Structure 1
Amino acid sequence: MSTASALVFRTATRADLPAILALLADEERVVDPATVEVTEAYERAFAAVDADARNEILVLVEGEGGTGTGTVVGCLQATYIPGLGKGGAERVLIEAVRIRADRRGGGLGRTLMAHAMTRARARGCALVQLTSNKNREDAHRFYTGLGFARSHEGFKLAL
């Protein structure tokens, strides 16, 4: 299948939730979305993101062709953050970037990130930031290859 003509970028819908959760469930193997339990907590979280103008979940769908069907092969969440730094410009925080395990290495991740950054530029964002688990060395190489610099040390505290 030629991915160039069969790919659609769009904002995720509730119907995409099982496929998104399948992508997030395991980076090393393809998880069947039909096996994923969509809990009430996931439903609430998706509804909150969907209702918030400063948040969006983008999906990359293969084979949709305007029919509303297709396979979700990638996703990410973008959160637009206002701030006083960078002359008062917004920044975008990109999280939960995933490409389906059997589709990696063909440029889909690069294409998905380029699409997200184009959307951020159109909003007037001056900076893209992201964090990545220290164990995800392949992801770090990917982000470095896109031009991201390791400029900050991140911290987290579970509540």
Structure 2
Amino acid sequence: MIFRVATRRDLPAVLALLADEDQVLDPATTAVGEEHERAFAAIESDARNEMLVLTDTGADGTEGSDGTVLGCLQLTYIPGLGQGGQERALVEAVRVRADRRGEGLGAELMRLAAERARGRGCGLIQLTSNKRRTAAHRFYERLGFARSHEGFKLPLERP
């Protein structure tokens, strides 16, 4: 497996993972709209944001010819005055292909993300997860994440 920063070429596969976590969707049939292009460009150009992917490797250990995206996550680095002024890493959009779950890919993806955040000097990693995703909650707890806060969201109307 290869863990790397996503490229524009990965966008359909990432969107397929985010669209339905219970099925494997063909990235070739995943619509990439202008809003996705803008969002990806913003992530790509922001030093505090990274969309990361875990891809399959070929027999020679290099990225397979099809570059199958097996998992993804977004890391956002947040400066703050708490934690002794250390940055924190916010993890979002964590997904592993439905047909590859149970192989340790999610744990490896999160381990590599934590290593990346630690290397940047982050003091902690935080994330939120939809209350309905109980299997994901068990997964995060197995990795050592603690339910330390209650999250709130306020949808904003678009102008």
Query: What is the CA–CA distance in structure 2 between the aligned matches of 1:141 and 1:47, rounded to whole Å?
Result: 33
Residue pair 1:63, 1:69 contacting (<8 A) in 2 also: no
* Aligned-pair identity (%): 68
1:50 aligns with 2:47: no
SS of 1:149's partner is coil
SS of 1:102's partner is helix
Consecutive unaligned residues of structure 2, counting only runs of 5 or more, are: none
> 2:35 is matched with which residue?
41
After superposing on structure 2, the runs of 4+ consecutive aligned residues of structure 1 that deviate more than 2 Å are 66-69
- Relative distance call for 1:102 and 1:52 in structure 2 (3 A) is same
Query: What is the CA–CA distance in structure 2 between the aligned matches of 1:120 and 1:94, rounded to whole Å?
Result: 10
TM-align CA RMSD: 1.0
Query: What is the CA–CA distance in structure 1 between the aligned matches of 2:46 and 2:68, rounded to whole Å?
Result: 25
1:23 aligns with 2:20: no
Q: How many residues align?
A: 153
1:102-141 paired onto structure 2 within 5 Å: 102-141=99-138
Match of 1:151 among 148, 156, 159: 148
Normalising by structure 1, report the TM-score.
0.94
SS of 1:134's partner is coil
**1:100-128 alpha-carbon deviations (Å, 9 max, x no partner):** 00000110000000000000000000010
Normalising by structure 2, report the TM-score.
0.94
**1:4-37 alpha-carbon deviations (Å, 9 max, x no partner):** xxx1110000000000000001011100001110
Consecutive unaligned residues of structure 1, counting only runs of 5 or more, are: 1-6
